[in-house]
Structure 1
Amino acid sequence: MTIKTRITDLLGVQYPIVQAPMGWIARSALASAVSNAGGLGIIETSSGELDAVREEIRKMRELTDKPFGVNIAQAYVRDGDIVSFVADQGVKFVTTSAGDPNRYCSQLKEAGLTVFHVVPSLSAAIKAIEAGVDGLVVEGAEGGGFKNARDVNTMVLLPLVCSKVNVPVIAAGGMVDGRSMAAAFALGAEGIQMGTRMVSAAESPVHQNWKDAIVAAKETDTVFLNRFGPGPACRALRTEKTTRLEKDPGENGVSPEFRNAMALYFGGDMEASIALSGQVAGRIESVKPVSQIISEVVAEFDEVMAQMSAKYARV
């Protein structure tokens, strides 16, 4: 089955399912699995390790002949020529995030790339449209990772933005299965982005302890950190460390905690740093291969849409 929307037309994919661009995680092993399964894998640049990113893109071309994209997380860009770097890799789709959409949009468009910007509010969405983006990733506050401190959940944010813009929208935050995808479509989206579900996937490079913690988490087992700064707010799994930081992030905020990220991400020490995660961790019951995740999402989406039509359609 193919799901046809403006997203699939723009991205050239079978399904409008995008993998979130998590730092150090969104690399070739995971991204190629997503693309090969009919979705769109994304390679991150937020790690700042552009030589490694270049190698991951080279690996992508060995691992898949399907489309994939790159994310530019503007707050973490360490290369003033990041646009040329991305364009030189031959990719055609870019998401920009964590900054002003005007910073790179025109350059990326001039280089022939399709550009979507990640937005946490209606005002940010309007600003991105005025900057000339091709589409939006509308990200609700229940999602994992770095967040707008003035949080708005997907159920409110997504239909609000979709009612005010005409560009295609990818929904992020709370997306984990076919039922949540159907809900996002009902609210105006034409695609979804999954982060936490992909962190827990078999092909995800993170340590098994992190995957096990996601599977074990209840729906209440995330924390919203650093709401009052300094630095960005974020949503993460609840651990002893993050429970302390929830109450007292310290005078420097939580950003210094990411200095030890590798010990958590790949060493499995869940107290060494902060395990970014969305509330959907409470709905993930097992580690599965990406191909199974995507096939189940698509099958359930189709089933839910058919059931809704049969149950509520009027003759």
Structure 2
Amino acid sequence: MALNTRVTEMLGIEKPIIQAAMGWIARSHLSSAVSNAGGMGIIETSSGDLEAVRAEIIKMRELTTKPFGVNVAQAFVRDPGIVQFVIDQGIRFVTTSAGDPMKYTGMLKAAGLTVFHVVPSLAGALRAVEAGVDGLIVEGGEGGGFKNPKDVSTMVLVPQVVEAVDVPVVAAGGIMDGRTMAAAFALGAEGVLMGTRILSSAECPVHENWKRAIVEADSTDTVFLNRSGPGPALRALRTDRTTRIEKEGSPNIFGEFADTQAVYFGGDLEAGIALTGQVAGRIREVKPVAQIFDETMAEYEATVARMARAA
């Protein structure tokens, strides 16, 4: 099933599903699977290793002929040449996040790129629109990763933003299937972003221990950390380490990540922090990306049809 929205039209994709730009994880093997399945695969830059990113973009073009994009995570990539780097790679779609949309949007737009900015609040959405973005990724506090310490749920934030802006909105946080996509569209979104659901996919390169922890998780098995700072707040998988941080706080939340490679690819979930959303509590099986997307679209169609019959 294809679903036409402003998001699919702008990005040239078949399904209005964008993949989260997970640091170290969102690289060619996973992102090409997303693009080949009809969604928008995204290559990350938050790892900060631009030479590796360049190599992944080259691999991406070998693995898919479908559209894909790059994320610029401003808090993590401080290289002043990042915009020219993205332009030089021939990228046509960029998501920007973790920073002020005024910083890069103008330069990216001047080069002809389509730009969506990730926002956690209405104020952030209005500033991004003022900066000239083409669309917004509106991220509720139930999603995994770095968050606004004053978190607002997707159910509240998405319609609030939709009512205030004219650009298309992509809903993020708590989205993992057709029912949640239908709910997001009912709130006014024209696309969805999936993070934890794709993190637990067959093509995702993270260790099976992390995927197993997601599949076995309850909806209460994530923690919201560092609400009072210093540094960013975040949502992560509940482990002994993150439970300790939840109770005691941390003077250096970035230091708590410790050995990211051991967590992500070595399977030692106590060696750092495994960023994960609350929707882990609904994921019960590791599946290929294409199957996830096909099932999502079929369930979306069935959900909309059921609601229409009930009207």
**Is the structural similarity TM-score above 0.5?**
yes
Counterparts of 1:161-200 in structure 2, within 5 Å, are: 161-200=161-200
- Counterpart for residue 278 of structure 2: 279
Deviation at 1:257, TM superposition (A): 1.6
- Per-residue CA distance 1:123-163 (angstroms, 9 max, x = gap): 00000000000010000000000000000000100000001
Which structure 1 segments of 5+ residues have no match? none
Superposition RMSD in Å: 0.6
Tell me, in whole angstroms, the C-alpha distance in 1 between the residues paired with 2:167 and 2:7: 10
Work out whether 1:29 is the aligned partner of 2:4: no
- Counterpart for residue 260 of structure 1: 259
Structure 1 residue matching 2:257: 3-state secondary structure = helix
Counterparts of 1:40-59 in structure 2, within 5 Å, are: 40-59=40-59
Structure 2 residue matching 1:181: 3-state secondary structure = helix
Tell me, in whole angstroms, the C-alpha distance in 2 between the residues paired with 1:285 and 1:52: 33
Work out whether 1:245 is the aligned partner of 2:242: no
Structure 1 residue matching 2:25: 3-state secondary structure = coil
Paired-residue identity, %: 68
Deviation at 1:306, TM superposition (A): 0.6
Deviation at 1:193, TM superposition (A): 0.2
Tell me, in whole angstroms, the C-alpha distance in 2 between the residues paired with 1:72 and 1:42: 10
Counterparts of 1:28-177 in structure 2, within 5 Å, are: 28-177=28-177
Code of the residue aligned with 1:157 in structure 2: it is L
Q: Are the counterparts in 1 of residues 41 and 69 from structure 2 also a CA contact under 8 Å?
A: yes
Q: Are the counterparts in 1 of residues 203 and 289 from structure 2 also a CA contact under 8 Å?
A: yes
Which structure 2 segments of 5+ residues have no match? none
Tell me, in whole angstroms, the C-alpha distance in 2 between the residues paired with 1:262 and 1:97: 23
- Counterpart for residue 268 of structure 2: 269
Deviation at 1:248, TM superposition (A): 1.4
Q: Are the counterparts in 1 of residues 223 and 242 from structure 2 also a CA contact under 8 Å?
A: yes
Structure 2 residue matching 1:75: 3-state secondary structure = coil
Tell me, in whole angstroms, the C-alpha distance in 2 between the residues paired with 1:103 and 1:274: 29
- Counterpart for residue 10 of structure 1: 10
Deviation at 1:78, TM superposition (A): 3.3
Deviation at 1:250, TM superposition (A): 2.3
Structure 2 residue matching 1:76: 3-state secondary structure = coil
Structure 2 residue matching 1:126: 3-state secondary structure = helix
- Per-residue CA distance 1:82-126 (angstroms, 9 max, x = gap): 000001111100000000000000000011100000000000000
Q: Between Structure 1 and Structure 2, how many residues are aligned?
A: 311
Counterparts of 1:225-244 in structure 2, within 5 Å, are: 225-244=225-244
Q: Are the counterparts in 1 of residues 35 and 41 from structure 2 also a CA contact under 8 Å?
A: yes
- Where has structure 1 moved over 3 Å in runs of 4 or more? none
Code of the residue aligned with 1:262 in structure 2: it is Q
